Structures are given as C-alpha cells and as structure tokens.
A = this chain, B = another copy of it.
Amino acid sequence: MTDRTAPDRVRTIACVGAGVIGGGWVAYFLAHGFRVRAWDPAPDAEPRLRTLVEAAWPALAELGLATGAGPENLTVTRELAEAVAGADYVQESAPEQLDLKRRLLADIDAVTPEHVVIGSSTSGYGMTEMAADAASGHRLVVAHPFNPPYLIPLVEVVGGERTAEAVVMWTAEFLRHVGKSVIVMDQEVPGFIANRLQEALWREALHMVANGEATPAQIDASIIDGPGLRWAFHGPMLTFHLAGGPGGMAQMLDHFGPSLLSPWTRLDAPELTQELRDSVVTGTEDAAAGRSIADLVRERDRRLVDVLRVLGKVPGGS
C-alpha cells in the first residue's frame, strides 16, 4: 500500500519541537546512530537543544552508543518542510496544548511525504482529537515517552479513530527495534496508562499537602524508601501478588478485598465484582509469566538488594 521504510531500515528522523521531551528524543535517536533533523520555533532552540544533547550524552555513552553515533548527525532548521524532507519517521513533541498540537500536526502532515509515519509525544490527548485538522489521519499515531526519553524505556503507542492499524504496528516495531519498551493500547484513554496511574498518586499527594497531612518531603521519602524501590522492577500487580502470601493475588483479593472500602485515598474503589476479581487474578498470572510466588520473592529480594546497593541505600547496622 505504501513505500514505507521498513522499521529496521529507518535512517533519518525528524523531531518537531525541541524542548525537554523533544530534545530527549533527539539525544536518544542520535545515540542510536540516526541522522536527526530538528525543528523548533524558539529563537534559541538550537543552542538549547545542543546543550541538552551534551548533558544527556555521558549517560547515553555509558549505556553504549551505536556505531557512527554522534551529535554531529544533528541538523537544526527553522523550516518545517526542510526538517521533514527525507525523514523516515517524524516525532512531534510540541507543548501540551490541544489547539497548538492540532494545528501543528496538520502542518506537519501537509509537508511530510505520504508514506512517513508521524508520532506524537502528547502526554494525554487522544489522536482522534489531535488529528482533527490533518488530511492524512491514517499515519498519525500517539507515541508517548517518559521523561527523560533518552533513559526511560517506556513508550505508549495508541492510534486515533482514523489511524491505520498498520501504522500502529509499524510504530511499535520501529520503537522496539531502537530499544524502547512499547505498550500498544487498544483504545484511547485520556492520560493513557502510566500517566493516569502517576496522576492518581499525584492528586492524592496534593490532597495530603492541602490538608496538612504530609509535607512534600515526607511524600517523596515515603515513596523512594518504600514502594518506589519495588516499582523499579515489580509493578503494582506483582507487588500485591506477593503481599497475599503463598495464595498470591487471588488470596489478596478474596481476603483483603473488603479493605478496598476503607477510606484510604479520596479515590472511590471500583466494585470488586467476580468478573473484575477474575480479570485481575488471571492478568496477574500473565504478568508473572510463569514465575511462582517463591520465584518472585527471590527475584524481588535479589533486585531490592541490587537497587539498594546501587543507590547507596544499604540500611546501617546497629
């Protein structure tokens, strides 16, 4: 149908918008050996971008650079059409304003060759609403990274109503090929997955500060010396899978389900129907991917020791 470049043959990437997120993508793609063409309307965009790339480079170098990778493969231009000319993929990372995104994506779409996929770094808008003014909505897709995009692996990929399924698949394949951890979502949900979860925690934190229940420093300490240590390798589902003892998530939900109704947090709990209970139990088994509770406990302890040591958090002796 199209002469789209194969995901493993991409050589040139256009990055539209070169702030903290766009610049992070630039650094990541440069480190992986791509030619990058960046566009940003700010007068000082180029020096700011080069400073950001320079600051990111030591970390990227430590993780390993591709052959021929280097900041010299970056071109910054003031002409949008010039940036996207010759690109095999376009990553848009403009400020998070719907009107601006909608106009910019239409502009990018108008000057980018038809076969090229255009991904958006939006942290919360759906592509259906963002692509409203673009002619070829089929090749517009959300590819949402986390800050800093040059170090955090996660990218959430989700299409809008007009996005071609093949475009979603191409984007996932391309990003996995360059080392990203990709989640393909089946439906548009505001905030996608990780930002919704992060935002629920953030809102509860703001409520606690507003009510004088905890200070920001206490909130941060409670995460980094508590559940945050586990969340670097076991997500909330596997964490509770282990909290239930040998019976895992099933035991957890069947025995502690009622405590869901306790007035912890200001977010109402969903009704724990049999269907939800079964979805969580089965889905958690999928997440465990064959690892028994005992396996997961050993894995947890080994990784906690590694993380505590690498972060210099080994508890002192008595």
Contact residues of A with B, CB < 8 Å? 8, 19-20, 32-34, 55-56, 58-59, 62-66, 96, 124, 146-148, 151-154, 156, 177-181, 183, 185, 187, 189-210, 212-238, 240, 242-243, 245, 256, 259-260, 262-273, 276, 279-280, 283-284, 286-287, 297-298, 300-311, 313-318
Contact = CB atoms under 8 A, between A and B. Distances in A.
A152 B311 contact: no
A-B residue pairs, 5 tightest by C-beta: A220-B235, A179-B315, A216-B283, A228-B231, A191-B264
A20 B264 CA distance: 22
A216 B287 contact: yes
B194 A226 contact: yes
Given A189-B208, A225-B152, A228-B228, A305 B62 contact: yes
Given A210-B279, A311-B233, A32 B227 contact: no
A96 B185 CA distance: 37
Given A63-B305, A151-B305, A206-B270, 10 more contacts: A8-B318, A32-B318, A55-B297, A64-B317, A181-B315, A196-B208, A209-B280, A216-B286, A307-B307, A307-B311
Given A183-B222, A227-B146, A283 B209 contact: yes
Contacts of A264: 124, 190-191, 195-196, 199
A5 to B, nearest CB: 13
A59 to B, nearest CB: 4
Contacts of A55: 297-298, 301
Contacts of A8: 318
A259 B96 contact: yes
